[in-house]
Amino acid sequence: MRPDDGLLPPFLGALKACVSVILTMCYGVAARRLRLIHDATINDMSALGIKLFLPALIVVNLGRELHIGTAMNYLPVLAWSFVYTFASIGLSHVLARLFRLPHWVAPATTFNNTSSLPLLLLQSLDSVGSLRLILRGDESTADGIERAQSYFLVCAVVSKTIAYVVGPRMLHDGENAETRPSSIEDQHVSECEDEPLTETTSLLPERAQTAQHAVGMRIHSWTTWLVSFFPYRVREELMAPFGDPFAGVAICCTLVGALLGLVPALHRAFFFREEDGGYLQGWLTASVRNIGRLFTTLQIFLVGCKLAVAFERMVAQGEADESSRIPIRAMTIIFLVRLVAWPAVSISLIYGLAKHTKLLGDDPILWFSMMLMPAGPPALVISGLAEVAQASETEKMAIAKTLTVMYALSPFICFTITGALKASEAVLKERS
């Protein structure tokens, strides 16, 4: 029997990968506890990662992996991302009403971490060599990791866009709908009013901001005209993602990455070797790739920092406040849905589709990635949505405690990784 046969080797590899991620998170906790990083720095670095590092990662990874020959592989990813996210929304509402859970349990059950956690897990799996089980031919592990990351990035864009549109409403049942800006123009005006202007303001930034605003208004007018043919409620939902800074940037970067990948001349210029015509690859693409690579480890490190901040607030609040303690039922529901039920459903469903149909193509990395997408602890974006929805301090503290406990339990995802690896390997062996 080969060393890779059986469940133990892939399970140990998955466990090592999970431990590696948890240790990276613990380093963030330690840095915060030792006062090596402050709240303002954590927030600034997190915003930098979301607004700069992640878009760079999306453009480079998606552009490199997406081309005419692989374009069809991304259609199942898009479809599956929408299906499992909306199914999670429906399931969370049913469970919240059935067990009379607080409002914040629904989004915590619905939206899992689809970016930093799985991306770092993939890098850790690369170091332990677990993905060798599902590589085709002489394909290298690094190539498989790059392709899996591009699938997860597409999933992350879909999941986070839906989270920013639907999440605040799930937290407060639309009670604060009137407090949200009614349009993108209102948001732009409010942002400009908050920005002080002095006599020493340089002309170049002024012109750049004016040009950016003009272009933005022109694009907005075009998109408004396009969606004006739909009913009012449909128009509101279609335009909502572009009102959020992350969603707008992520969608634009996804489109740019798709353009660079699908246009042969651009793909060659940006991603081929220089001797093959890639005259932009060695300097421009390499620089953007270097920035993008900062996202994964930095975000997991900042997750640890944010969890440490939440823990400090718990200690400061004390145990006398019974109202913000985590309901056992809520924690159990979130754990069972995110780390037990969805992994079982996704592995079984994707395995069946890959084995009996041609809908998912012939890429085992795609099958493995889709099996993992619905699994994992809640996304930290839930705490941000609580701010947007103007949740009470009691709800914010309960959310912080929930996130802390769920990330402590995140090594349970190693069972999902093992099952996905073995299921994908079984389909690959049968097909070959």
Q: At what angle do helices 364-372 and 413-431 cross, to 10 degrees?
A: 150
CA distance 245 to 104: 23
As given in the structure block, the two tokens for residue 234 are 């449909």
Q: State residue 197's pLDDT score.
A: 39
Residues 390-415: tens digit of each pLDDT:
666 777 777 877 888 888 888 899 99
CA distance 232 to 61: 36
Q: For the chain, how many residues are written?
A: 432
The amino acid that residue 385 corresponds to is L
Phi, psi of 311 (to 5 degrees): -65, -40
Question: Does some domain include residue 60?
Answer: yes
Summarize the confidence of residues 365-390 as an average pLDDT.
83
The amino acid that residue 74 corresponds to is Y
Question: Does some domain include residue 90?
Answer: yes
Q: State residue 124's pLDDT score.
A: 87
Residues 296-318: tens digit of each pLDDT:
899 889 988 988 887 787 777 66
Question: Does some domain include residue 286?
Answer: yes
Helix (H, G, I), strand (E, B) or coil at 112: strand
Residues 305/28, Cβ–Cβ less than 8 Å:
yes
Residues 222-267: tens digit of each pLDDT:
445 444 544 544 444 444 444 555 566 778 888 899 999 999 999 9
376 — alpha (psi -120 to 50), left (phi > 0) or beta? left
Residues 171-196: tens digit of each pLDDT:
765 444 444 443 333 333 333 333 44
Summarize the confidence of residues 62-83 as an average pLDDT.
91
CATH number where 427 lies: 1.20.1530
Q: What is the pTM of this model?
A: 0.80
Question: Does some domain include residue 421?
Answer: yes
Question: How many domains, the chain?
Answer: 1
Q: State residue 172's pLDDT score.
A: 62
Taken in order 304, 307, 313, 315, is the CA torsion positive or negative? negative
Question: Does some domain include residue 59?
Answer: yes
Q: Whose CA is closest to 241, among 155, 164, 154, 156?
A: 164
The whole domain housing 40 covers 8-180+245-431
Summarize the confidence of residues 274-281 as an average pLDDT.
85
Summarize the confidence of residues 135-155 as an average pLDDT.
88
Higher pLDDT, 320 or 154: 154
Question: Does some domain include residue 238?
Answer: no
Q: Terminus-to-terminus CA distance in the chain, angstroms? A: 19
Question: Does some domain include residue 189?
Answer: no
Question: Does some domain include residue 307?
Answer: yes
